[in-house]
Structure 1
């Protein structure tokens, strides 16, 4: 079976939506006051600085390790994150809607408190089904996102066999790539999501061995942001996903 040489993924930089979500959660509000559609939410000034720092990190890699192909979520915040990386590597962008963020349906823009206050039955249904299989009306479960990632991985293996590929996407995708590439089960994935907060502009990566199995080399790496003074605290990196 055709395989990639290596696979990287970068979470987008801090967005205006991340900032507003943190403020809403901290204030105990029910609604995150984001005026834009989720695909149109832009990076914050901090997010832009994080993207530049991440571009410098990739440019500093040995030439034999740098990505050769970059595939990006079509959302604005991911495209803006990818721009300096693509410029640093001298690569064109490829967009794929399968890298979009998880769709929250009727829960869109609600905080955790807002879901329980306005949609208590949905909160109870989510508690019963669990994080992985719960699908909000009009939205996606984590299992749904895993399915589109499986499709994308199949295409990447076929179209870019033997090459080094970088994805630029969203937090749930990073957890689910690890779930798929390292063959985790549901319990291990959920434990990972409780233990880790995936940082904005963090870098995660895997190498593929001769046996076709992926081995992690980095996960949630943000040293390049700390060095530049652009790393957010774990509280500032709060995910806008309410449940």
Structure 2
């Protein structure tokens, strides 16, 4: 669709907007769907296992309940998230239409995350909730059935020596395994977005809230922002019912800096390079084709001499004195040109 700027004599330039998300013309060249305004990642409230790790030895991890404090944390988180998506929070962007926003929930199947969702959902009027879906792929890392304290302590010490991302718990998972299923979930998430399954109208501002676990939320961000294993291992875990807001920028990129501050990102363990990437994403006027951290992989990287129109590299002077002519080429040197 198009909207014209109001010029004095009707001669104002017309600016084209994307019919799906009403962003600028640059955005319209690639956007064919209504993107969520925010993707909010929430860790569950305090659980019995957080309070007493011996609970894991007798109760299945998936059945560990919230404590009374965890229930209160979930309700408080719901009120804070409501403020963010409705545009009324002091640190929010303040540009949300108070009459035109919706929320859609994904939740891990574990008891503590489902209970956290119930607490969060209590803050939202029914008409604001588009839907909620249990998603097994955002569950907790599997640490191997019942977890005996002494054995788990020894395994975690081994994990620290082996590498936190690649160490696989016996009868359980590694963080790399979690990465694979989170990547699969993201593919499904994009299909839901592309097919318009999360929105009720083209005018509604949709917000996704994913209620999950500490490591799963960090891996979600790792996959989304293309962080390396080394960068992932810098990150600190989220506190109970802490959340991260990934907010859509003007060019179709999501960034943590749309809502949070650079100081917060630094406290969470993001390196200066990672923060700079978040800045770029927040201010970009179009999506990047492929975000990367190239300098991470190469040392002393220099460009080779460029080739001329005939595919030959330019001849360089063999003289150390710029004002002195290079000596004539020998036959072998000439043939190698």
TM-score above 0.5, yes or no = yes
1:14 to 46, 49, 60: 46
- Cα gap change, 1:33/1:166 in structure 2, threshold over 3 Å: closer, same or farther? closer
In structure 2, how many angstroms separate the alpha carbons of the residues matched to 1:116 and 1:11?
A: 23
Matched positions, count: 202
Residues 130 and 198 (structure 1), Cα distance of their counterparts in 2 relative to 1, 3 Å cut: same
Q: Which digits, 9 at most, give the CA deviation of each residue in 1:2-22, with x for residues without a partner?
A: 65432111100000111002x
Q: Is the 8 A contact 1:40 1:76 kept in 2?
A: yes
- Are the counterparts in 2 of residues 4 and 156 from structure 1 also a CA contact under 8 Å? no
How far does the alpha carbon of each residue in 1:32-69 deviate from its partner, in whole angstroms, 9 at most, with x for none?
Answer: 56532111111001001101111111222326386621
Measured after TM superposition, the shift of residue 218 of structure 1 is 3.8
Name the counterpart of 1:43: 66
Task: Please show how residues 26-41 of structure 1 align to structure 2 within 5 Å.
Answer: 34-41=57-64
Residues 142 and 46 (structure 1), Cα distance of their counterparts in 2 relative to 1, 3 Å cut: same
**Alpha-carbon spacing, 1:189–1:114, altered in 2? closer, same or farther (3 Å):** same
* 1:109 and 2:152 are equivalent in the alignment: no
Q: 1:214 aligns with which of 254, 261, 283?
A: 254
- Evaluate the alpha carbon distance shift between residue 115 and residue 59 of structure 1 in structure 2; reply closer, same or farther with a 3 A threshold: closer
Give secondary structure in 2 for the equivalent of 1:105. Answer: coil
Q: What SS does the corresponding residue of 2:171 show, helix, strand or coil?
A: coil
Q: List 4+ stretches of structure 1 deviating above 6 A.
A: none
Larger % of helix: which?
A: 1
Q: Kindly report which structure 2 residues correspond to 1:1-243, keeping only aligned pairs within 5 A, or say none.
A: 3-21=35-53, 34-61=57-84, 62=86, 64=96, 68-89=103-124, 90=126, 91=129, 92-105=131-144, 108-111=146-149, 114-115=151-152, 124=158, 126-161=159-194, 163-192=206-235, 196-209=236-249, 211-216=251-256, 217-218=259-260
Cα distance, 1:191 vs structure 2: 1.5
**What secondary structure is seen at the aligned counterpart in 1 of 2:180?**
helix
1:100-126 deviation digits (Å, cap 9, x = unpaired):
1000116x4244x53465x6xx854x3
Structure 1 position 211, deviation (Å): 4.9
- Extract unaligned runs of 5+ from structure 1: 22-30, 222-243
User: Any gaps of 5 or more consecutive residues in structure 2?
Assistant: 1-30, 88-95, 200-205, 265-337
Query: Is the 1:55–1:85 contact (alpha carbons within 8 Å) kept by the matching residues of 2?
Result: yes
CA shift at 1:93, angstroms? 2.4
Call closer, same or farther: CA 1:33–1:177 in 2, change over 3 Å. Answer: closer
Tell me the C-alpha RMSD between the 2 structures: 2.7
What CA deviation, in whole Å up to 9, does each residue of 1:121-169 have, x standing for no partner? x854x35531111112211110110111111112112213584211000
CA distance in 2, matches of 1:116, 1:54: 31
More relative contact order, 1 or 2 (CA 8 Å, 6+ apart): 1
Please say if residues 15 and 77 of structure 1, whose CA atoms lie closer than 8 Å, have aligned partners that are also in contact: yes
Whether contact under 8 Å (1:20, 1:34) holds in the other structure is: no
TM-score, normalised relative to structure 1: 0.73
Q: Distance in 2 between matches of 1:60 and 1:211?
A: 24
Are the equivalent residues in 1 in contact too, given 2:107–2:113 (CA < 8 A)? yes
